[in-house]
Every structure is written in structure tokens, then in C-alpha cells.
């Protein structure tokens, strides 16, 4: 089938989800919602008519009012559908994203982007990697991820969250990179290249300024993928950590720049920023510094979660421990329990 636009993709995904609800179980569907028994927790054991799972068609998201799980439409389908149905849907979705990118340079519906005050980004060239493509001697046109790259992302536990990642190859040395778009309001406004094969000639990550093609101000990675109903945004150093957390974003380093602070405040004025840098001495010092600096010019910044109980370097290393670890970093209650004030953190550092 040919999925022409995002609306038809959403309808298609909703049809699939509706179709795989086990026969005989109660279900209802209207224009925006599908309501049925939660496939994750099994819903009520006493009542077989209770259905507390809600799939929201327009935002492709699922919530259960029994077990409180929040997840995406594709993950829900993965849980419910036979493997072949899920993998077909995944392939259709990827193809759709690539077509969508090729035609407009943006990943999401235009109407969605119109809701947001774009004044901060008007001067940004879109799509941001246009500059790369202006240099056809050096870089090939971006294309879909290769099987090898997908395998790599699977190993890091983020393959299903990396739908808009692409592949790009440097022509001169024939080295492949993973191209990671940074979007704001559905538009790609920045990017980074990941030297995932560890080619010696290049640093691990290349940003537009390090490729020396332009000097755009660095925005915030994953800023669109924030759950509005949970008031925290977890600010990480790297993109893989950001993808590992619920409401994770990446600053592309250990500093929250003024520009990034402005973007976050503008896009999510009621959210609280939580610093979650690497689980080492330097990371902790940077978090305290960020909170101190942040508080003078941005009231929203003051607490952060910690991995004191886990012997891992960062969130992405943590989720590679398995499915259980993965779900822990999506668990709002767990994350909130781990958060600390900068003061508590400083005392902890002094003591030990
Ligand atoms: Zn449930």
C-alpha cells in the first residue's frame, strides 16, 4: 500500500491496532480514540468488560488507566500483533518517513508546526543539512539507514525511537555515518553525524560547526518528543541517553546554553528541566554548575536524577542491560524518586 501522508499513516496504524484486539474482547472506536482492554497489564481480572486502555489516534500514543503505561502506537502494535504484522507496519512507517522527508524536508505535519511560535527559529535554514548536500563532492545524499546501522541502533536499545535517523556517506573516504536530525516543531533545524564505526579520521560526533559548513546555534535534540502531561524534561549530554529516558532531550554537551534555555522555555513553559549528565565525577560537577548557572537566568532548573545505585556510565549503557532497565527509565515514579536538589547533590559530593 502507498501511504501518501501522515494522516493516512495514522489511520492505517489505528486500523491495524483495532484489528489485532483479541476477538470477543470489548472495544470501541471513534474518530480520535480506540478503547479496549490493556494488553500490557491484562486489565481487570474480576471484570471482563472493564477496558482501561486508550489509544489516541492523532498523537499515535497509548495510555492505560490501570497500569499507567504510556507508549507509542508502534510499541503498542508490537505488544499486540503477530511479528509479521508489526514488521510490515514498521517498514511502511520508515518508507513513509523517508518519502515525507524527500518531499518537504520536514518530518511532521505542517499544521502541527503552525501551533508553535516559530520566531526563535525563523533565521534557521531548513532543512539544516542542506549545506552538507551543497557539497556533493564530499557527501552523498542522505538515505535510509542500512541494515548494519539498524543493527547498531538495536544493540544500543534505541532502534525503535530512531525513526528519523538517516545514513550519510563521506565520498572521499567512503565512511558511513548515522545522520541524526534535530527537530523543532516538526522541522529539522540542526543535525549531528555519528561516526558509529569509530573511523579514526573523525571524532565520534560531528556537528555542523565541526564540519565547518555553517555555524548555526545549537538547539536541543528531541525537544518535540516530550510528553506534555509529565512536567519534567531530562536534559542529557548525548542523543542516545536522551532516547533512553522518558522526556529525554540532549544538549549535545555538558552546558545548557542561553539559546537552548530559551528554546526549552518557549516550547515547554511549564516543564521543569532536570540535568542528567554522565554518572561520573565530572558529570556530577557539571550538573551542579548547570543548576547554579541556570537558576540565575532561568527559574525552571533545579533538580536531577542520579544513578547512584547502578554501576553504569550513562542512561544508554543502563538500558542496554535489558528490557527491564529500559522500562525503568520510562517510569515517571521511579525517575521522580531519583531526583535530587542541587544542594543535596553537593552535600553528597563533599561526603563522598
Ligand atoms: Zn495496563
What is the reported pLDDT for 275? Answer: 85
Question: What are the start-end ranges of the H helices in the chain?
Answer: 6-19, 73-80, 83-104, 110-114, 130-133, 147-155, 239-244, 258-267, 281-297, 315-319, 323-328, 332-338, 342-351
Cα of 71 vs centre of ligand 1, distance in Å, is 11
Residue among 6, 8, 64, 60 at smallest CA distance from 32: 60
Torsion of CA 65, 68, 74, 77, to 10 degrees: -60
Cα of 172 vs centre of ligand 1, distance in Å, is 52
What is the reported pLDDT for 349? Answer: 67
Cα of 62 vs centre of ligand 1, distance in Å, is 10
What is the reported pLDDT for 116? Answer: 40
Residues of the chain with CATH 3.40.1360: 232-351
CA distance 151 to 75: 18
Average confidence (pLDDT) per 10 residues, the chain, 352 residues:
69 95 93 92 90 86 84 90 92 73 42 39 44 68 84 90 86 91 77 93 82 63 86 91 93 85 82 84 80 59 60 83 81 83 72 63
What is the reported pLDDT for 306? Answer: 56
Q: Would you say 226 and 274 are in contact if contact means Cβ atoms under 8 Å apart? A: no
What is the reported pLDDT for 53? Answer: 93
54 beta partners: 35, 63
Cα of 214 vs centre of ligand 1, distance in Å, is 47
Q: Is 66 helix (H, G, I), strand (E, B) or coil?
A: coil
Q: Which three cell numbers stand for residue 295?
A: 537558576
Residue 116 CA from chain centroid, whole number: 19
Q: What is the pTM of this model?
A: 0.63
What is the reported pLDDT for 127? Answer: 52
Cα of 312 vs centre of ligand 1, distance in Å, is 30
Q: Could you name the CATH architecture of 232-351? A: 3-Layer(aba) Sandwich (3.40)
Amino acid at each position: 500500500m502507498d501511504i501518501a501522508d501522515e494522516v493516512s499513516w495514522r489511520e492505517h496504524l489505528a486500523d491495524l491496532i483495532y484489528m489485532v484486539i483479541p476477538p470477543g474482547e470489548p472495544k470501541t472506536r471513534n474518530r480520535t480514540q480506540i478503547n479496549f482492554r490493556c494488553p500490557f497489564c491484562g486489565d481487570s481480572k474480576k471484570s471482563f468488560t472493564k477496558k482501561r486502555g486508550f489509544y489516541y489516534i492523532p498523537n499515535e500514543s497509548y495510555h492505560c488507566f490501570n497500569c499507567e503505561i504510556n507508549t507509542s502506537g508502534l510499541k503498542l502494535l508490537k505488544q499486540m500483533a503477530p511479528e509479521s504484522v508489526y514488521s510490515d507496519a514498521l517498514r511502511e512507517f520508515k518508507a513513509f518517513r523517508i518519502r515525507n522527508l524527500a518531499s518537504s524536508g520536514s518530518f511532521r505535519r505542517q499544521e502541527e508546526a503552525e501551533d508553535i511560535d516559530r520566531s526563535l527559529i525563523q533565521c534557521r535554514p531548513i532543512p539544516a543539512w542542506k549545506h552538507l548536500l551543497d557539497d556533493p563532492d564530499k557527501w552523498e545524499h542522505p538515505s535510509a539507514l542500512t541494515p548494519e546501522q539498524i543493527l547498531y541502533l538495536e544493540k544500543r536499545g534505541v532502534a525503535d525511537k530512531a525513526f528519523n535517523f538517516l545514513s550519510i556517506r563521506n565520498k572521499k573516504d567512503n565512511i558511513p555515518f548515522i545522520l541524526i536530525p534535530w527537530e523543532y516543531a516538526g522541522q529539522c533545524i540542526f543535525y549531528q553525524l555519528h561516526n558509529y564505526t569509530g573511523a579514526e579520521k573523525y571524532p565520534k560526533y560531528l556537528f555542523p560547526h565541526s564540519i565547518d559548513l555553517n555555524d548555526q546555534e545549537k538547539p536541543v535534540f528531541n525537544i518535540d518528543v516530550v510528553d506534555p502531561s509529565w512536567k519534567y524534561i531530562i536534559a542529557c549530554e548525548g542523543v542516545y541517553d536522551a532516547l533512553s529516558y522518558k522526556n529525554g532531550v540532549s544538549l549535545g554537551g555538558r552546558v545548557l546554553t542561553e539559546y537552548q534555555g530559551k528554546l526549552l522555555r518557549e516550547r515547554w513553559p511549564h516543564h521543569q528541566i532536570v540535568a542528567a549528565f554522565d554518572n561520573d565525577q565530572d558529570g556530577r560537577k557539571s550538573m551542579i554548575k548547570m543548576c547554579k548557572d541556570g537558576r540565575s537566568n532561568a527559574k525552571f532548573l533545579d533538580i536531577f536524577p542520579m544513578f547512584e545505585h547502578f554501576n553504569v556510565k550513562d542512561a544508554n549503557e543502563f538500558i542496554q542491560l535489558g528490557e527491564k532497565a529500559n522500562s525503568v527509565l520510562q517510569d515517571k515514579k521511579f525517575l521522580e524518586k531519583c531526583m535530587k536538589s542541587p544542594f543535596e547533590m553537593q552535600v553528597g559530593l563533599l561526603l563522598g
